[in-house]
Amino acid sequence: MKELLRKREFTLLVIIAFVLVLIVIRVPAFLEMENVLRIVNDTSILIMVSLGQLAIIVTGGIDLSVGSIIAFSGMAASMLNQYHPDISVFIVLLVGIGVGTGLGMFNALIIAFGKVPPIIATLGTLSVFRGFTFVLSKGQWVTAHEMTEKYMNLPHGHFLGLTNLIWFGIIVSLLMYGFMRYTRTGREVYAIGGNKTAALFVGVSEKKIQFVVYTLMGILAGLAGVMWTARFAAAVNETAIGFELQTVAACVLGGVSIAGGSGTVVGVVLGALFLGIITNALPVVKLSPFYQMGLQGVVVLGAMVVNSLSAKREEKRLLERRLD
Amino acid sequence: MSQPMLRLEKISKYFPGIKALDDVHLVLHPGEVHALVGENGAGKSTLVKIITGVYQPTNGKIYYKGEELDFANALEAQKHGIAAIHQEASMFPELSVTENIFMGHHIKHRGRIDWKEMRNHTAALLERMDLNINPSTTVKNLSTAERHMVEIAKALSIDADLVIMDEPTSALSLREIEDLYKIIRQLKDAGKAVLFISHKFDEIFEICDKYTVFRDGKYIGEGPVEKSALDKIITMMVGRSLDQMFPKAEVKITDPILEVKNFTRTGYFKDISFTLRKGEILGFFGLVGAGRTEIMRALFGIDKASSGEVVFKGKQVAIHNPKTAMKLGIVYIPEDRHEQGAIQDMSITHNITLPVIDELSPLGITRKAAEQETVQKYGTLMEIKAASWDVALNTLSGGNQQKVVIAKWLATHPKVLIMDEPTKGIDVATKAAVHRFVSSMAEKGLAVILVSSELPEIEGMSDRIIVMHEGRVTAEYERGQVDSETIIRAATGNLKEQSA
């Protein structure tokens, strides 16, 4: 029980419950099924991309280019749909994912083989990929009446009472859970982030792991790009600007250590949901949306302070126990 | 006699599980160069850290110029005129020589930093030391030896009354060592006190007036440095009560498994050749920096050797990375378990199974049952004490962490086990467990290389001892063939003196 109380995921769950209670006191309708599903639906893209960010941060890296990957792959898929409306949307979806994968691999190459620190490499590609988006679209948008009904229905369609988008979020979460917990490569991701030297000593290849996580991020961001443009029925050049920070925020809230080596899928999903709840609650509790960004920042900073303070306390507790 | 510059009385320093210093004392007079001698782990560095205020003693008193002092931090000690030159230069590579030298005690003029004055001081200081270095040079552009000399200049710049030099010559060339001697003599003539820590007897005999010997954190003896003192010092360094039992079992040594021929890595070790047989424990003794760890790293494929060959089971092999070495059955348990062995955030299970995660994960998916079986087997074998195999490594004591690191290598079914300082920094009980384990591995027919700086451990555990000094093998002995003194002589490069 004590172990459970110390778990980060549990703390976050309690905080989420507390915030929900506060909101429900003011707006009882907030917890109605319809609204809950709407929040989950709104948050699904953030969950998917944050899980990619999780794997990267666990290795000790970061990917700042995700917003641009989403924009480019979303634009590519939308334009394919615009100019070749007869091509099956599944092919379009695959092309979007493929484009994202390619961009992710590009990051991976620069980081793993070019030996560029991830924060610098992805800061560079953040501009590069966004620039490509403008070049590809020639500055034009793809709007709702230029997309096919089927394309726009990709996220909105229903299956067993849930939207396709929610299903995608669930499937990605389960796959990532399995990957991080039950695969050899997942284990090596934690090893590289936990102690690079020790990992190298047992023959774990840093290059391989870096290649895997940045490419994985490309896959997820590509999927997110298609979902994003289809959901909002518009592919614009500014799609997902600043989104990378939300994914990092979801990770931090979920207890992922920025130094690498620790973090869980469950934590990140909860972290993303927490951000989603706050975003959705603001208009409901009649707070101006102008507060949204600032409030998000406050929440993340608060989480960071709690994180490092509790890490200090934990360390002290361990040291005391070791002396016995 | 004059009042001592520094007097340490009954100083003790305890760390969890270890007595680093136990009731030691030391007296240092003005105008005296005093050698502090002892094997690795004798407590010399801890003492330096206590004198310079980095550590606070658990017990005991420090008198400096007759006053009882108690430094809260290193800056306070510096303000009192105590300067230390550390083994590894602690410099700011991106700053200039001047900035490095005056870090923490800038010369100010009406509240503003007086750069011109500081540059002039630096130039004068460097000239006094016969150093041809521009004060404005960025430190990262200096050679290692030059950096060391700047470090020494830094100590002089605060006009210290007590200068502590911890292995100051390890990075210097002969000419620079001469310069250093000159500076030390200048300090001596100016009535300063110098505490000189070195492994090199020729230096101690060249420059020191008195010596104090520490062993295992205890004060052993002191005396004036004179011609006849060498034997006495060496005896004091190694002579110990043989209360430590080594459970070395008699094992039949069979076929050679690993042959290393003319193994060289430029700048680290040269022309190393040896043969390792099944069931044998081969001890590598030497002082820190003798090149032992570097040989093992190259054997394990972490670093690349410049030349030489490695023959494993009669076949010449090329080992370019740890994976290859592990596939052959060679494993290397590194010295620094925190840096190189343990992954603190991971559970015991995940730490132990990491080297064999390939085998435990058919099709890439880790089999939980197989994983648990492995951990149960090797965790029990190593007597790891933990509430469960799933707790994170950082909840364990140092000794238990060490056991986890060893267990993880055992899981790879090694044929050759290389252990680098396996008992460094762990408590006596765990030490004994590690020794039992090493012996049992040899009994099982494994070939073991034991790298250690603790002579009793080497003597107690090895079938054969290879002694290294400055990157070369200086001697090879069978078990019990020679006494401890001879081994120490070989390790310090003093073998010839004795035979002469």
Percent helix, strand and coil across chain A, each rounded to 5? 80, 0, 20
Name the B residues in 410-439 with CB < 8 Å from any A CB: none
Give contacts of B343 with chain A, Cβ < 8 Å. 190-191, 194-195, 198-199, 261
B214 forms beta bridges with B219
Looking at residue A59, its pLDDT comes to 96
**Mean per-residue pLDDT of chain A:** 90
Name the residue facing B394 among A200, A318, A323 (closest C-beta): A318
Phi-psi region of B445 (alpha: psi -120 to 50; beta: other; left: phi over 0): left
- Residue numbers in A near B361 (CB within 8 A): 183-184
Residue of A nearest to B342 (CA): A198
pLDDT at residue B386, rounded to an integer: 81
Other Cβ atoms closer than 10 A to B124: 12
The confidence score (pLDDT) of residue A57 equals 97
Residues of A with CB under 8 A from a CB of B: 182-185, 187-188, 190-191, 194-195, 197-204, 257, 261-262, 318-319, 321-323
B6-238 architecture in CATH?
3-Layer(aba) Sandwich (3.40)
ipTM beyond cut 0.90: no
A310 pLDDT higher than 80: no
* CB-based contact B412:B440 (threshold 8 Å): no
| CB-based contact, B358 to chain A, within 8 Å | yes
> B399 and chain A: CB distance < 8 Å anywhere?
no
d(CA B289, CA B269): 10
A273 CB neighbour count, 10 Å cutoff? 23
- In the numeric block, which tokens belong to residue B410? 């055992």
What average pLDDT values come out for chain B (500 residues) when binned by 10 residues? 84 77 90 86 83 87 86 80 76 88 82 88 86 87 80 82 84 77 88 87 87 88 84 74 61 88 90 93 87 91 90 90 89 79 88 88 88 90 84 80 85 90 70 82 91 85 91 90 84 64
Per-residue exposure over B465-497, b if at least 16 CB sit within 10 Å of its own CB, e if not: bbbbbbbebbbebeeeeeebbbbbbbbbbbbee
**Token pair listed for A52:** 């990619």
Which alpha helices (H) appear in B158-211, and where do they start and end? 174-189, 201-207
Q: Where are the domains of chain A?
A: 45-275
- In CATH terms, B256-499 corresponds, of 3.40.1390.10, 1.25.40.80, 1.25.40.10, 3.40.50.300, to 3.40.50.300
In this complex, which of B323, B340, B368 lies closest to A198 when CB atoms are compared?
Answer: B340
- The continuous run of DSSP H or E covering B40 comes out as none
**Whether B346 and A190 lie within 8 Å, measured CB to CB:** yes
C-alpha distance from A77 to closest chain B C-alpha (Å): 32
Burial status of residue A53 (CB atoms within 10 A of its CB: 0-12, 13-18, 19 or more): buried
pLDDT attached to residue B384: 83
- Sorting pLDDT into bands at 50, 70 and 90, what band is A292? confident
Q: Are A199 and B343 inside 8 Å of each other by CB? A: yes
Task: Identify from A184, A207, A262 which residue to disrupt to test chain B contact, counting B C-beta atoms within 10 A and taking the largest count.
Answer: A184
Give the residue from B303, B337, B321 showing the smallest Cα distance to B408. B337
Highest mean pLDDT of the ranges A34-38, A70-74, B256-260: A70-74
The answer to whether B316 faces chain A, any CB pair under 8 Å, is no
Candidate from A136-140, A217-221, B193-197, B421-425 with smallest mean pLDDT: B421-425
Q: How many CA atoms lie within 13 A of A40 on its CB side?
A: 18
Confidence of residue A3 (pLDDT cuts 50, 70, 90): low
**Per-residue pLDDT at A318:** 65
| B343/A188 CB distance under 8 A | no
**pLDDT: which is higher, A27 or B33:** B33
Helical spans, DSSP H, in A138-253: 149-156, 164-182, 184-194, 196-201, 206-231, 243-253
User: What is the per-residue burial (b if ≥16 Cβ within 10 Å, else e) of A55-87?
Assistant: bbbbbbbbbbbbbbbbbbbbbbbbbbbbeeeee
Q: Do the first three CATH levels of B6-238 and B256-499 match, i.e. the same topology?
A: yes
Q: Given CB atoms, is B341 within the 8 Å cutoff of chain A?
A: yes
The whole-number pLDDT of residue A324 equals 42
Place of tokens 């634009």: A75
- Domain spans of chain B, in order of start: 6-238, 256-499
Residue A261 has its nearest CB partner, among B323, B345, B395, at B345
% of chain A with per-residue pLDDT over 70: 95
Identity of the residue in B340, B353, B360 whose CB atom sits nearest the CB atom of A201: B340
pLDDT at B252: 83
Tens-place pLDDT, residues A175-188: 999 999 999 999 99
How far is A96 from A102, CA to CA, in rounded Å? Answer: 10
Q: Is pLDDT at A1 greater than 60 in this prediction?
A: no
**What is the average pLDDT across A263-271?**
94
Does residue B17 or residue A83 have the better pLDDT? A83
Please list, residue by residue across B323-360, b when 16 or more beta carbons sit within 10 angstroms of its beta carbon and e when fewer do: bebbebbbbbbbbebeebbbbbbbbbbbbbbbbbbeeb
Q: Decide: helix, strand or coil at residue A164.
A: helix
